[in-house]
Amino acid sequence: MSTPTEEFLGGIAALRIYRHKGRGAPNVISGWHNPWGYGLYFTDKRLVGVSYTKYLSRAYIPGWILSLGWIGILVSGIAWARATNSENLPLWFPPLLFATMGASLIVLLYLSPKRASAQIDNLNVSSVSQLENLPIDTVLERKNIENVHFQRARIQDPGRLYVRGSLFIIRLRNDQVVTFGNSLDKERLGRLQRLFQTFAARDPAIPLTAS
């Protein structure tokens, strides 16, 4: 909850930002453990993480439908062969099956992420009041943060295998560790780094290191 004197410092939302949920490797983007599509917003009192996975769900629906389609075609072909006691599948079966499989892969690995990115990357939050209405995933009070460490990493990114990325590892005073990962381009990563620097520089300063 915001306070009357809370100052909004800025934020960034992107498809290729995520919060490590504590299971599995922190450099792996996964729909189960580390779902991508995330926003990080800074005030002079707290860091707020916002999950935008709803945009992913909407963007991936066509791909899931196509995937169910080729599975249905495969089952139908096998059922037809058994029902007719034929060793040969119908002529329409192979091209239809492989065309549907190919289309589902293109949609899931390229078109769906592109659609989700176009929506999430253009989200704009410019005030604390707007922040309160977002689907908040986590809140880190600034007074509870011990230090922040920036680390370069190879990120396993769906559809792009291993790509250049980085981790922001935040250690709290109770020894809990919260990790935010990303595979942002140079411009957007620079923007996120500057936000962390501005956030950490406030009095009292938070130690900010890099490796």
Instruction: Transcribe 46-74 into DSSP letters.
Output: EEEEEE-HHHHHHHHHHHHHHHHHHHHHH
Task: Give the mean pLDDT of 23-50.
Answer: 83
Name 190's Cβ contacts closer than 8 Å, sequence gap at least 6. none
The pTM score is 0.78
- Nearest CA-CA partner of 200 in 44, 7, 88, 27: 44
How many angstroms separate the CA atoms of 101 and 107, rounded? 10
Does 170 or 113 have the greater pLDDT score? 170
Using left for φ > 0, alpha for ψ between -120 and 50, and beta otherwise, residue 22 falls in left
Tens digits of residue pLDDT in 108-149: 677 777 787 778 888 889 999 999 889 999 999 999 999 999
